[in-house]
Amino acid sequence: MCWEETLLGKVNAVLFDLHKTLAYAEDSVTEEEISEYLFNRGYEVSSQQLRAAWGFVSFIDYPNYGYKSWRSYFSRIFWRLKMKVDKETMNAVIKLLESKPYQLYSDATEAVIAAKENGFKTAIVTTIAQFKFKDAIRPIRKYLDFVMTGYEAGCDKSNPQMYRKVLEILKVKPEEAVMIGDDLKLDILLPKRLGMKAILLDRERKNKSQLVDAFVYNLNDAVETIIKQYGRN
């Protein structure tokens, strides 16, 4: 099925996923790396323990408290692990995390600007803490009406509340919004269940799902088609 044929009706807003859609963290730091470093410093915490605590902070604590830096964020992770680390160790962990920041994909700026300049409301929808990608999105921030993270929503992205809240803030109905993202469940199936339109971004051309009736290989193709069908400028 041609995906262009599936986008019917009026569109007033274009929503963008962040991770692997607008931006990426090249060779992001893993739990294994941090666990190994901590063991070398005399702190015995396994990668699985670290992964569990990290997940809890990402999906439960951040939506409640909205940490604004790696230091406060990782302090909470250590708190979850019931660990007290010395200042030197903490500083080294933070330095490692900050050394691999998010970066915009080459097509992100052009796509977001095009959507905004053609009359659509625009927003980012992500669970990820804003401090992690704040610097990366500076080139497009003024073209975004809202940045919805787990803290603004009070929940993670698998909770429909996040989508409902961003639609309320943008003052658009579900059927008037298109979500663009790379995750089949969170960016496509969930928005569609809410009545939104959705486009799967398949940068690596690996999509084999029969559930997808709308997909593209880059952001520009997605936005250009939306503009062609619904642009008002």
Confidence band of 28 (pLDDT split at 50, 70, 90): confident
Per-residue pLDDT, 10: 85
Percent of the chain beyond pLDDT 70? 93
The alpha carbon dihedral of 155, 93, 33, 45 has a sign of negative
Which pLDDT tens digit goes with each residue over 162-215?
A: 999 999 999 999 999 999 999 999 999 999 999 999 999 999 888 777 677 678
pLDDT in tens, 50-85: 999 999 999 999 999 999 999 999 999 999 999 999
Mean pLDDT across 90-104? 95
Provide CB contacts within 8 A for 29, sequence distance 6+: 96, 97, 99, 100
Does residue 3 sit in helix, strand or coil? helix
Q: What is the mean pLDDT of residues 155-160?
A: 98
Structure confidence at residue 6 (pLDDT): 53
DSSP alpha helices (H): ranges in 87-155? Answer: 87-98, 108-117, 150-153
| Distance in angstroms (rounded) separating the CA atoms of residues 124 and 122 | 7
Handedness of CA 29, 62, 17, 107 (dihedral sign): negative
Phi and psi at residue 132, to the nearest 5°: -70, -30
Per-residue pLDDT tens for 101-146?
Answer: 999 999 999 999 999 999 999 999 999 999 999 999 999 999 999 9
Q: Answer for the pair 26, 100: CB distance below 8 angstroms, yes or no.
A: yes
Task: Find out whether 226 and 187 touch, Cβ atoms under 8 Å.
Answer: no
The SS3 assignment for 198 reads strand
Are 213 and 6 within 8 A, CB to CB?
yes
User: For all residues of the chain together, what is the average pLDDT?
Assistant: 92
CA 13-64-174 angle, to 5 degrees, is 20
